[in-house]
Amino acid sequence: MIRITDLCKTYKTHLGPKTVLSGLSTEFRHGEKVGILGRNGAGKTTLLRLIAGVEGYTSGRIERRMSVSWPLGFAGAMHYSITGADNARFIARIYGKPIDWTVGFVEDFAELGEYFRLPVRTYSSGMMMRLGFALSLAVDFDCYLVDEVIAVGDSRFGERCRAALAERHARSTLLLVSHQAETVRAFCSSAAVLQDGRLTRYDDLDEAIAAYHAA
Amino acid sequence: MSGGAAARGSVLAGLRVQLRVIGALTLRELGTRFGRDNLGYLWLFVEPALLGGAIGMVHHLSGHGLPGGLNVATFWVMGYIPYYLLRGIINRAPTAIVSNQSLLYHRNISVFDIILARDLLEGAAVGGAMLAFTLFFGMTAGQWPHAPEKMVIGMVLMLAFCHGVALLIAAGSIYTEVFDRVVHLCTYIALPATGAFFMVFWLPTDLQRSALWIPTVHIFEMIRDGEFGSQVPTHYNVGYVIAWIAGLNLLGMAAIRRGRHDLVI
């Protein structure tokens, strides 16, 4: 379970403080597949980063009672000057996973061909995303934080991601942020709308999507 | 300091995670810095050798020796290598976070771990160069260190001192680019004052007292005590250096903790 209480995040900018999240409270339980809908700049990515612990927050509280992935997106989590294989070895060491198994798994899942043995900086954004997703599946988290990523990948890979997540359906939690209702409909069983720094949860997907379009 | 396990479980489990992380970071750093097609490590040996050789030549041609009859090349090389460690760690501190930012996506990797891994690697590399030159001077000139353990302790103190400074600079680099701009300048300007190329007993008494305020002067004196023994008088106080190291590292860790909270990735 992840419990968020009164979460606030303010960034310092040249134009003064900018509040992105103001008093957000919610709870994500084991096995939930929640889509978080929000317009560009609503703070979706920020919310994922705070849940993942990548950035600190201004006030409030986040309790993590399960293992939470890093935010899966185009950037981050990898080292760009080393190869995909070396990244897999690195991740295996960091998270205490068997090294050979991890490298094999990531190579199979990411399907990068010979690029797997080339530095990550030579990858296309789609390839980077595939590597990132494969790395996170190798670690086997309880909760996956996904930043619109699957929608952007080619459809075959999207299908495999969905299958991989479905396989873990019972135990893994998914938090997917997107500005597209279709993506959320494809992957999630409930949804929430992020607006004005707060999150409104809906048990019913259609209700959430309707509220999102109305906003 | 590091991640979920530390918060949840015992201190021991947290420590295990941190050791694992530092090990992995060091290995990765080893690959990127001294990797396959990177000859960076060669300079570790070439630079001190060139400096020692060139200055030894100047002394030889001018016919002036060093006070205390010290071997010129040994003196300069053994002063330059610990300075090399200082410069390597401090000059690279402002970019420590930026160049590893993507790794902070992993909750169990802390900024402290990243900087410690870099500094340990730098220390191991420079320590290797120190060992190589010690063996070289021993075998070619028969100049074996009088107390090698003092040289080792001196290098460890230098590493710990620079690590503390690096933590502070890295924390500062989160808030301003100033450090990145001035740090190279500062390490060069500070070179004459660090104690790398002079000995305290060369100085007049009142200047000696001022020089001994500088912690690195003590470290260089200690390394020279290990190298030359009673051939020359040395002045140093290990307690004074340790007090500096403790102060810098505690402040550095506090600053990093604060900075991590404000870091925008």
Q: Are strands A2-13 and A16-28 parallel, antiparallel or unpaired?
A: antiparallel
3-class secondary structure, B161: helix
Residue A185 in contact with partner chain B when CB distance is under 8 A: no
Specify the DSSP element, H or E, that contains A8.
strand A2-13
Phi, psi of A57 (to 5 degrees): -115, 160
Q: In angstroms, rounded to a whole number, what is the distance separating the alpha carbons of residues A28 and A2?
A: 5
Q: Work out the mean pLDDT of chain B and round it to a whole number.
A: 88
Whole-number Å distance between alpha carbons of B221 and B237: 9
Q: For residue A139, which of A168, A113, A117 has the smallest C-alpha distance?
A: A168
- AA letter at B141: A
pLDDT of B206 higher than 70: yes
* Count of all residues that appear for chain B in the document: 265
Which residues of chain B have a CB within 8 Å of the CB of A80? 102
Pick from A77, A78, A82: which is nearest to B31 by CB? A82
Closest Cβ–Cβ partner in A54, A64, A94 for B4:
A64
Residue among A54, A80, A86 whose CB faces B31 most closely: A86
Tell me which residue of A198, A142, A202, A204 sits closest to A174, measured CA to CA: A142
* Beta bridge partner(s), residue A178: A37
CA-to-CA dists, residue B53 to B47, B72, B77, B228, angstroms? 10, 9, 9, 19
User: Does residue A127 have a pLDDT over 50?
Assistant: yes
Q: Output b/e per residue, A52-68; b: 16+ Cβ within 10 A.
A: bbbbebbebebebebbb
Pairing state between β A2-13 and A59-64:
antiparallel
Interface test with A, best of B21, B28, B100 (most A CBs within 10 A): B28
pLDDT at A180: 86
Lowest mean pLDDT across B52-61, B166-175, B208-217, B227-236 = B52-61
Q: Please give the interface size between A and B, counted as residue pairs whose CB atoms are below 8 Å apart.
A: 63
* pLDDT beyond 50 at B5: no
Higher-pLDDT residue of B68, A144:
A144
B27 contacts in chain A (CB < 8 Å)? 90, 93
Segment B112-164, tens digit of pLDDT = 999 999 999 889 888 888 898 899 889 988 889 999 999 999 999 999 999 99
The ipTM is: 0.88
Q: Given an 8 Å threshold on Cβ–Cβ distance, is A54 in contact with B105? A: yes
Measure in Å the smallest separation between the Cα of A141 and chain B Cα atoms: 12
Contact A79 B32 (CB under 8 A): yes
Tally of helices (H runs) and strands (E runs) in chain A:
8, 9
Residue labelled with tokens 């290797």: B128
A30-57+67-214: which CATH number, 3.30.1330.90, 3.40.50.300, 3.30.360.10, 3.50.50.60? 3.40.50.300
